[in-house]
Amino acid sequence: MAIEYLKKADRQPTSGEADTRRIVGEMLDNIRAGGEKRVRRYAADFDKWEGDILVERAAIQAAADKVPARLKQDIDFAYRRVRDFAERQRESVSEFEVELSPGLFAGQRLIPVKTAGCYVPGGRYAHVASAIMSIATAKVAGVDNIVACSVPSDENGGIHPGILYTMDLCGADHILNLGGVQGIAAMAYGLFTGHPADILVGPGNRFVAEAKRMLFGQVGIDLFAGPTEILVIADAEADPRIVASDLVGQAEHGPDSPAWLVCLDRRLAEDVMALLPGLIDKLPETQRNAAAAAWRDYGEVVLCDSREEAVEVSDRYAPEHLEVQAGDRDWWLRQLANYGSLFLGEETTVAFGDKCSGTNHILPTKGAGRYTGGLSVHKFIKTVTYQRMSREANREVAQVTARISRLEGMEAHARTGDDRLAKYFPGEDFDTAAA
């Protein structure tokens, strides 16, 4: 039994975090003090945008007119699948009330947040699918007010037409021509809309992710996110060309996107490693440079003697995206525990989930898959409890509460039970002393 690294990453996803924190912290402080004026200044400095921040209906219609009919059909295809999956998620939880003991009723309510801020990346790539993942899911959850933002450009006259069309299709109530930290801060503080976000969601670069992290507590966030990740588990029967293609497919996101391969067969691992450089070289320049750096600095190949070892390695990485290209898929489904989203078999791939197959692509990174899943309707819904009880139920509950409170040294707590017993059962003696 052995775990062998055929390729080890030179860098880790946490590299450069200190500088990112400093830059984002300064920007948030400036925006907090300077408000909308400071946001406009950052928009001009970073995105060269000096136009309207709040997108008007006429601009949305103009963008829709620029989107080809075929693309609209594709966007609708993706939208309907993501929406339908989210609706099934919503149906999987329910409100209830139960009588825990005679006269004591406890219940659960599901209350959507009032305002959600949805960030949609739009810099290097036009992330149409990200608009669907966040906005459509919030709408299904029942959020009253959805504010969305994305990077504007003079070339597009604002937000990319495809993104803007999709934001409107999915139900955004307010759309901001803002990207980066300034977009996150504007949604958090309610700038330009008067609706401060209760929760911020959506993927972004390291500065966007850090802004969300720093604002957490003042607002909710979907998850702590970093550069996108992929881990592929493959056995001897896997197709090395498909495995290599999938690794490159995620590495093109950026130069700090980890791509990990966990193999049960040495020859397959070597074949995949041999194929990767050629696949990267065939990409357009921007994607080629990103993928080459990502594979060079963050790529890893791990050889395992057994599938149990492969599970151990994968669960330790807790990857954002986990593909299994190995036999006995049900076994892997039962055994694997830590991941954002799981793709079983070569017939499916991360890109399908990223774009249109139905599951959400806003997922945990940097090991957060150990304790949380990705974005779902549940992130937009507060699960709150309530209780009510009869006076007769106080006979038991008040005594137990008083005794436990006195054991803990909390006399005022105990007396809230004593006072009810005295009111509801005058003249009766109760044992409420600590044991």
d(CA 198, CA 332): 37
Residue 381 within any structural domain of the chain: no
Residue ranges making up the domain that contains 68: 17-222
Verify that 275 and 350 share a domain, yes or no.
yes
Dig out the tokens for 241 from the structure. 């060309």
Give the torsion sign (CA, 294, 297, 301, 307).
Answer: negative
Residue pLDDT, tens place only, 223-266? 887 789 999 999 999 999 999 999 999 999 989 999 999 999 99
Which residue in the list 229, 252, 320, 323 is annotated as catalytic? 320
DSSP secondary structure letter of residue 204: -
Q: What is the pLDDT of residue 13?
A: 58
Averaged pLDDT for residues 20-32: 96
130, 175, 240, 354, 381 from 170: Cα distances, Å: 11, 12, 38, 17, 18
Instruction: Give the per-residue pLDDT at 370.
Output: 95
Neighbours of 19 (CB within 10 A): 10
Closest listed residue to residue 169, CA positions, set 146, 140, 198, 135 = 135
CATH number assigned to the domain comprising residue 214: 3.40.50.1980
Question: What confidence score (pLDDT) does residue 224 get?
Answer: 80
Question: What is the rounded distance in angstroms from the CA atom of residue 379 to the CA atom of residue 376?
Answer: 6
C-beta neighbour count of 272 within 10 angstroms: 26
Is residue 46 scored above 60 in pLDDT?
A: yes
pLDDT at 15 over 60: no
Q: Is 361 designated active site?
A: no
What is the chain's length?
A: 435
Q: Mean pLDDT over residues 147-170, rounded? A: 96
What's the rounded mean pLDDT across residues 8-18?
A: 74
Same domain as 340, residue 278:
yes
Pair 209, 235 in one domain: no
Q: Please compute the mean of the pLDDT values over residues 207-217 and round it to a whole number.
A: 95
Confidence of residue 79 (pLDDT cuts 50, 70, 90): very high
The pLDDT tens digits for 303-357 are: 999 999 999 999 999 999 999 999 999 999 999 999 999 999 999 999 999 999 9
Q: Which amino acid is at 246?
A: D
Give the pLDDT confidence score for residue 10 in this predicted structure: 81
What residues have CB less than 8 Å from 288, skipping those under 6 apart? 280, 281, 282
Question: In the predicted model, what is the mean pLDDT of the chain?
Answer: 95
Same domain, 47 and 125: yes
3-state secondary structure of 54: strand
CA atoms within 13 A on the CB side of 143: 33
**CB-based contacts of 46, cutoff 8 Å, min separation 6:** 179, 180, 182
Residues 353 and 426 both lie in one domain: no
* 240, 128: one domain: no
- pLDDT given for residue 16 in this prediction: 61
pLDDT at residue 213 tops 70: yes
Q: Is residue 4 part of a domain?
A: no
Determine phi and psi for 198, rounding to 5 degrees: -85, -30
Threshold 0.95, pTM exceeds:
no
- Could you tell me the strand order of the sheet in which 230-234 lies? 3-7, 300-304, 259-263, 230-234, 321-325, 341-344
Tell whether 309 and 422 lie within a shared domain: no
| DSSP codes of every residue in 128-164 | HHHHIIIIIHHHHHT-SEEEEEE-EETTTTEE-HHHH
26 labelled catalytic? no
Choice among 321, 323, 346, 361 that is catalytic: 321
Give residue 127's pLDDT: 85
pLDDT at 378 over 90: yes
pLDDT of 69 > 60? The answer is yes
Write down the residue that tokens 């309530």 correspond to. 386
- Whether residues 214 and 254 fall in one domain: no
pLDDT higher than 70, residue 125: no
| Radius of gyration in angstroms for the set of CA atoms belonging to the chain, rounded to a whole number | 26
Nearest Cα residue to 170 out of 135, 133, 144 = 135
Number of domains composing the chain: 3
Same domain, yes or no, for 352 and 263? yes
Same domain, 53 and 116: yes
pLDDT digit string (tens) for 185-200? 999 999 999 999 999 9
**Quick one: 242 and 186 in the same domain?**
no
2 within domain boundaries: no
Distance CA 132, CA 128 (A): 7
